[in-house]
Amino acid sequence: MNGVPRMNEEKKRILEMVEAGLITASEALTLLEALEKEPGQNVRKERRDNFFDELVNLGQKLSGSGQKQSGESSGSAHQPKDKLFQFVQSTVQKLKDFDFPLGKTVEFSHVFQESEFSPQRIKAETASGNFTIQPWQENGVKAECHVKMYGADNEDEAREAFIKNSVFYAREDKFSFSVGLKLMKVDTILYVPEAAVNDISVKLFNGSFSMRDMDVQTLEVKTANGKIEVKKSKVAEFEGETGNGQIYFIDCEGKKVEASSFNGAVHVVGSVGYTDIKSFNGNVLCDLKSDTAHTVKAQAVTGHIEIYVPEHLAMKGVLRTNLGSLQLPETGMKRVTEKEEVVQKLVRFESEKEALEQVTIEAETKTGSVSIKTTALHKNSSNEDIEKPSIFEGE
């Protein structure tokens, strides 16, 4: 029921872009096809706040009227993604310009700390700067901030403005941290107790996020410009979105992972049950490390998709591409359906063997290739025994 009105809203936004002269009618049709989302697969998708649409709108505002004129003069050979890339690149350039404004720059460090406090809910928001979460053995929370402020006359003035416009709140089981000034870059390392945390929500505008060795029930990270990196952690449910940057969910355990990047690679490596990963302009990698995996959904537009599955697991699914190739393991697979048409190649497959554990795979890319490979992974095997995927460090 909720899928229909949501789809109508997406179509309305694209039509508004046509009316504004940002894209042509033919480009709008291609954009609808490329960015169409499956309706109503889970509740968390329904409550996402149209992150990429907000990024596109921001790019329009920052790029100004000249962007519209260039859009009107561009040829039909350009894909609609080129227009969207222009918006993103304009946004990123404006953000980079923030690092070198005219006027005096003051740098200093500041520490916020609350002793005898173990948070269950963490919420952080910053306009500019990297944010890192790191566990420690102390019973309390500490935020180490390295601040670069533009336009301040001296350090005392800059520190006073920073403290006045910052929030460091620790009460009961909730912790909040935010910095409101835009002409201020704040790189933050947040130290929290090693005990498990129920919920972490981080929203950044211009900055990267990193976390490792944590135990979290729900982790949500969104950034307009920056990398998202989660390593060696237990995260029951992870949702990550970035407009410009890579997403790495490496050597982690989780029940559900949803990650999408507009311009960057998306890699998920570890013991994950349900995986849904997307990249508009970047490669997508999913390397399953245990029998807990049951569903993999991977989608790209210009990038390649690689999926690694333990060889003792059975699998079935469907692979699609418009211009690339489709590759299955050389042995143990049977092709149920295979189509190679002018506009799309499609393969439906399933394992010849039967097994208690089975993985369902859906993978689709527009211009890239899709490949599924098996790994000699067994229970309690070490990562050193696994051959590294070929695009593990690639874009």
Q: pLDDT for 105-136, tens place per residue?
A: 899 999 999 998 999 999 999 999 999 999 99
- Give all strands (DSSP E) within 25-173, no chain letters: 105-115, 121-128, 131-136, 140-150, 166-171
Same domain, 197 and 284: no
Q: Please give the tally of structural domains in the chain.
A: 3
The answer to the question of residue 110 being in a domain is yes
Choose the final residue of a domain: 150, 184, 207.
207
DSSP state string for 262-291:
EES-EEEEEEEEEEEEEESSS-EEEEE-ST
- Output the pLDDT for position 393: 38
Same domain, 77 and 121: no
Q: Find, among 210, 209, 213, the residue nearest to 235 by Cα.
A: 213
CA dihedral 380, 215, 239, 263 (to 10 degrees): -70
CB 212 within 8 A of CB 232: yes
Same domain, 297 and 363: yes
Range of the domain at 173: 102-207
Same domain, 108 and 190: yes
The answer to the question of residue 231 being in a domain is no
The answer to the question of residue 230 being in a domain is no
Residues in contact with 311: Cβ distance below 8 Å, sequence separation at least 6, in sequence order: 332, 374, 375, 376, 377
Q: How many Cβ atoms from other residues are within 10 Å of residue 210's Cβ?
A: 18
The answer to the question of residue 226 being in a domain is no
Q: What is the mean pLDDT of residues 366-375?
A: 94
The answer to the question of residue 189 being in a domain is yes
Choose the final residue of a domain: 98, 123, 156.
98
CB 124 within 8 A of CB 190: yes
Q: 265 falls in which pLDDT band (50, 70, 90)? A: very high
Choose the final residue of a domain: 98, 121, 143.
98
Same domain, 201 and 267: no
CB 227 within 8 A of CB 242: yes
Determine the distance from the C-alpha atom of residue 250 to the mean position of all C-alpha atoms in its chain, rounded to a whole number. 13
Measured CA to CA, the distance from residue 256 to residue 269 in angstroms comes to 13
Same domain, 270 and 393: yes
C-alpha separations of 351 from 55, 80, 317, 364 in Å: 41, 38, 10, 19
Same domain, 253 and 374: yes
Q: What is the mean pLDDT of residues 367-384?
A: 71
Query: Residue 129 gets which letter from DSSP?
Result: S
What stretch of H or E contains 68?
A: helix 65-73
Higher local confidence (pLDDT), 201 or 81: 201
Same domain, 58 and 129: no
The answer to the question of residue 90 being in a domain is yes
Q: 44 falls in which pLDDT band (50, 70, 90)? A: very low
Same domain, 184 and 202: yes
The answer to the question of residue 393 being in a domain is yes
Same domain, 22 and 165: no
Judged against a pLDDT cut of 50, whether residue 216 lies above it is answered with: yes
Q: pLDDT for 222-243, tens place per residue?
A: 999 999 999 999 999 999 999 9
Q: 16 falls in which pLDDT band (50, 70, 90)? A: low
Main-chain dihedrals φ then ψ at residue 22, nearest 5 degrees? -80, -30
Residues in contact with 144: Cβ distance below 8 Å, sequence separation at least 6, in sequence order: 109, 111, 188, 189, 191
Same domain, 45 and 165: no
What token pair was written down for 186? 């704040």
The answer to the question of residue 237 being in a domain is no
335 half-sphere exposure, CB direction, 13 A CA radius: 11
Higher local confidence (pLDDT), 45 or 306: 306
Whether the pTM exceeds 0.85: the reply is no
Best-predicted range by mean pLDDT among 106-110, 179-183, 331-335? Answer: 106-110
- Output the pLDDT for position 103: 56
pLDDT, the chain, mean: 80
- The burial of 140, by beta-carbon neighbours within 10 Å (0-12 exposed, 13-18 middle, 19 or more buried), is given as middle
Same domain, 31 and 137: no
Name residue 122's beta-bridge partners. Answer: 175, 200
What token pair was written down for 127? 């306009």
